A and B are shown apart, each in its own frame.
Chain A
Amino acid sequence: MNRRLPRTNDAGASPGVWRLAWQRLRRDRVGMASLYVVVAFLLLIAASHFGLIAADWQQEKGVSFANPSFLPHLENREAQQSLQLQTAQAQSDPSHLAQFRAVDPLAATYDQVQQRALSYQIKEPARAMTLPFGGDKWGRSVLAKMIKGAEISIAVGLLAALIATMLGTLFGALAGYLGRWVNDLLEWFYNVFTSIPYLLLIFAIIAVVKANPALQSQGLLTIVLVLGLTGWTGVYRLVRAEYMKHTHREYVRAADAIGASVWRRMFVHILPNISHIILVQLSLLVVGFIKAEVILSFLGFGVPVDMVSWGTMLDEAQNELVIGKWWQLVGAGLLTMAVFVTAFSLLTDALRDALDPKLK
């Protein structure tokens, strides 16, 4: 990453900041690889969002804990048990209950119900013994759940991190650059805010958000808001410190001397110079929020039960691991979450380097 770049010195055309950054990123092999991975994930969740793939993730297609198709011969006691149970129920003879008939006044009614029920054909769909990446307890495809879960988790992580970073940057810039009473006010707010225990704060915000009838049905939006509104504090402190440092730099004074407004100095001159710090914070927050969603799901404030996320999958995987069903853990934790989180971190690292013209 630390390479000096030969630059094209075509006099006339001025390559923009972004084009130069792109040229630098292109030379960074790790960065490009992680960019491909992240773009692949984004395409995947876009496709799943518009129902092109994994739309049928809720259908119970296989037997309980169906084996992955690449390991078809694993012993599956759970599926065998439930199959035995089904056949046992089908073959069960109610005659052994005859001794109770004499004392049961409703027996005749039950008999009628039983007779009528037999006239309906219950058609249990044929359940597959194996699924592409195995099945969960209810026989849903883990692969489809991985894709659908990625959609929810990445959306939650990215949106919440964006909100938190923007809030933190705005507050930090105001406090750090303007100083004086603005700084005092925001510091006071920050101190009060961080003195409240984290979980209590989350409950409080959830209570407020849930009280709003317009938001009640939007389970996802609640989590995004909760994480976004509580996660800005770290960004705020860092950005504030950076602004305090840069405020007295000569290039900012020079901008003042040529007549640039306060707003322009804050966001056109200083912000690009500290963008690498904000980018790193953003990537840390995305990773953190994807994990926080797991905790919230555990506490019952996570994604609604009719949705799936990496968090809920990992939650289920805990119990499955005990009985030797590892595919949900590997699928959600290793193949998707770990890959995405790593690629995303590496990408933001590469972006930071690419966007920094000082780096040689």
Chain B
Amino acid sequence: MSTAYTHVAVAAQPPQLLRIDRLSIGFRINREDVVPATRAVSFAVPRESVVALVGESGSGKSVTALAVMGLLPKDSAVIGRDSGIYYNGINLLFALPAQARSVRGKEIAMIFQEPMSALNPVLRVGAQIEEVLRTHLRMGTRAARARAAELLSEVGIPEPQRRLASFPHELSGGQQQRVMIAMAIACEPKLLIADEPTTALDVTIQQQILELLQRLKTRHRMSILFITHDLALVKRHADQVVVLQDGVVREQGGAQQIFRAPRDAYTRALLACRPGLDRRPQRLPVVEDFLNSDLRVDAQAQAFPERVRGVSADDAMVLIVNHLSKRFYLRSGLFEKQPLAAVSDVSFRLPKGKTVGLVGESGSGKSTLGLALLRLHAADSGEVLFEGNDILRLPPARFRAYKRRIQIIFQNPYASLNPRFTVGQILLEPMQLHGIGADDRERRELALAWLRKVGLEEAAYAKYPHEFSGGQRQRIAVARCLTLKPEVIVCDECVSALDVSVQAQVLNLLQDLQDEFGLSYLFISHDLAVVRHMSDYMLVMRAGEVVEQGESDAIFHAPQHPYTQQLLAALRN
């Protein structure tokens, strides 16, 4: 970095609070090579407005935010010479350290995606807020305590006086994020950078947090730089939208224009590849469809005919679940245990070749249910009939045969593949264990065929999982399931860790496989739109209980249970 300082008279305040000018950041991976993260990114944040920085993983949106905060790793980050981050006219990149620090500490604040890991778990919430007040505003102990309570009530936490004495783990995810926001606005910043602040939260909570941010923005007359991967999320709240892809700004403009008439093909793709609530195309459009054609969004969507879903009375049932229950025990005190019903009395039927969607917020027991079907969790009571056999009660030796036929795809493709195995080993292992294929040569041929089927190159066979992107890894996980030629696949949030564009590809793949092999899916997700797109029949779970079940379209058009209505309302916003 050069040591040239830019001295700018602060007297005349520029119209923009923050101006990013040709920001180029690269990361040094060894002595010679620098991988670019952003390339000449320019945009501005006007006073008292919300600017959304939208992009998928690897687009450089978080790197940009970190650069504003001065949090880039010093030894590996390389910043372009003509780059500028002008805050009130001062270039923070090349300002005197003391000057930059005073701006960043006082006038710019940041909130992060994971409130649980951003809060210190061993300190009380009150102490953490008061610390900010005492160090930055030099408040006394008593004044800080009073102000902390005020802040908590301002961010909408009930009984703020009592909550000051709580530990972070005693609060829900939404409340934790509210505490983070309280800490961020404690010093009355002019600019709040929110890095995916709602991604880790449930849909209903997401809306509340967005509304809170909007309220605070107006009251404190601050600007918000809102970073997200989800374009639809910022529709109502952003004034301006900047779309980033691979470190380059694809499009920027007013929110109205971006959502009504996106000019860039990539923006159009981002808007279209998310499953919608009113249509269900045969295939979801993917980014390539847009980059390779000049069609407009609606025309593009019309190109795919609609898929009709639903179950009929004469469907053959492959899996029948009756009164399944699973309790966990929480330790309380020294010897006592408190039962917690994770799944209580769940019954449903999975027809052959169809998809049953299972929707619910975090902690509703939907994953536990999926794991219990495969006996990855031991169920307490109930039965799971597969061809009339209760697979929960089968002795392990006889269950082995069924293990092949019911498989699972996990949420996080970064965690579900053994990092020490090559893709080849990952695909061969299940076949070796179940004696599929005569010898390893034949299995290798089979594995290569499955790789092609899920849309990967044969060269992938010799590589390790970390050499692939998230979407490609999820394809590997799908291929691993397929090697066993299962009849039922439990998809446990299998697209929720993926970018929207990649999500569309994986959903299309799953649909193609169902059409070709007649697979039955239990599709578990917190995302109602995705569940509606995929499923014929739907269960809505809350706190371990199925509150509503029925044909997907019926539930969508006329939800009966108030909870379902609430979920749909949050989504329609």
Contacts and interface: CB of A to CB of B under 8 A. Distances in A.
Interface of A: 3-4, 7, 9-11, 13-15, 17, 249-251, 253-260, 264, 269, 272-273, 357-358, 360
B410 A253 contact: yes
A14 B404 contact: no
B30 A4 contact: yes
Interface stretch (B83-91, B99-107, B454-462, B512-520): B454-462
Contacts of A272: 418, 420
Contact of A254 (B403, B410, B420, B459): B410
Contacts of B419: 251, 273, 357-358
A273 B420 contact: yes
A7 to B, nearest CB: 7
B500 interface: no
Contact of A11 (B374, B416, B459): B459
Contacts of A360: 29, 466
Interface SS of A by simple majority: loop
B374 A14 contact: no
Interface in B434-465: 434, 457-459, 461-464
B456 to A, nearest CB: 12
B422 interface: yes
B522 interface: no
Given A255-B418, A258-B433, A273-B420, A250 B410 contact: yes
Nearest to A357: B464
Nearest to B422: A14
Nearest to B406: A257
B417 interface: yes
Contacts of B477: 254
B395 to A, nearest CB: 15
The 3 closest A-B pairs by CB, nearest first: A250-B416, A14-B462, A258-B430
A258 B403 contact: yes
A24 to B, nearest CB: 12
A250 B467 CA distance: 19
B29 A4 contact: yes
Interface in B389-409: 400, 403-404, 407-408
Contact of B424 (A14, A253, A260): A14
B163 interface: no
A259 B396 CA distance: 10
Contacts of B407: 257-258
Nearest to A271: B420
Contacts of B29: 3-4, 360
Given A17-B420, A256-B376, A357-B419, A7 B467 contact: yes
A260 B417 contact: no
A83 B75 CA distance: 66
B478 to A, nearest CB: 12
Nearest to B430: A258
B415 A15 contact: no
Contact of B376 (A14, A251, A253): A253
A239 to B, nearest CB: 16
Contacts of B404: 259
B384 interface: no
Nearest to B408: A257
B169 to A, nearest CB: 19
B462 A11 contact: yes
24 contacts: A4-B33, A7-B467, A11-B457, A11-B458, A11-B462, A250-B412, A250-B416, A251-B415, A251-B416, A253-B371, A253-B376, A253-B416, A254-B410, A255-B429, A256-B376, A258-B403, A258-B429, A258-B434, A259-B404, A259-B434, A269-B418, A269-B420, A357-B464, A358-B419
A3 B29 CA distance: 6
Contacts of B186: none
Contacts, number: 85
Contacts of B424: 14
Contacts of A14: 422, 424, 461-462
Contacts of B38: none
A255 B432 CA distance: 12
A260 B429 contact: yes
B368 interface: no
**B29, B30, B429: most-surrounded residue (chain A CB, <10 A):** B429
B462 A15 contact: yes
A192 B88 CA distance: 66
A273 B480 CA distance: 20
A232 B10 CA distance: 65
Contacts of A358: 419, 466
A259 B403 contact: yes
A196 B295 CA distance: 78
B328 to A, nearest CB: 13
Contacts of B462: 10-11, 13-15
A257 B376 contact: yes
Given A250-B412, A250-B415, A254-B477, A259 B420 contact: no
Contacts of A256: 376
Contact of B480 (A15, A250, A253, A254): A254
B411 interface: yes
Interface in B354-411: 371, 374, 376, 400, 403-404, 407-408, 410-411
Contacts of B193: none
Nearest to B401: A259
A251 B418 contact: yes
Contacts of B457: 11
A304 to B, nearest CB: 44
A258 B415 contact: no
A251 to B, nearest CB: 4
A265 to B, nearest CB: 10
Interface string B461-495: 11110110000000001001000100000000000
B159 to A, nearest CB: 35
**A14, A249, A269: most-surrounded residue (chain B CB, <10 A):** A14
**B410, B430, B462, B463: most-surrounded residue (chain A CB, <10 A):** B462
Given A253-B371, A258-B433, 16 more contacts: A9-B459, A11-B462, A14-B424, A249-B415, A250-B415, A251-B419, A254-B408, A254-B417, A257-B374, A258-B407, A258-B429, A259-B430, A259-B433, A260-B433, A269-B420, A357-B466
Contacts of A254: 408, 410, 416-418, 477, 480
Contacts of A15: 462
Contacts of A269: 418, 420
A354 to B, nearest CB: 13
Contacts of B466: 357-358, 360
Contacts of A17: 420, 422
A254 B462 CA distance: 20
A255 to B, nearest CB: 7
A273 B403 contact: no
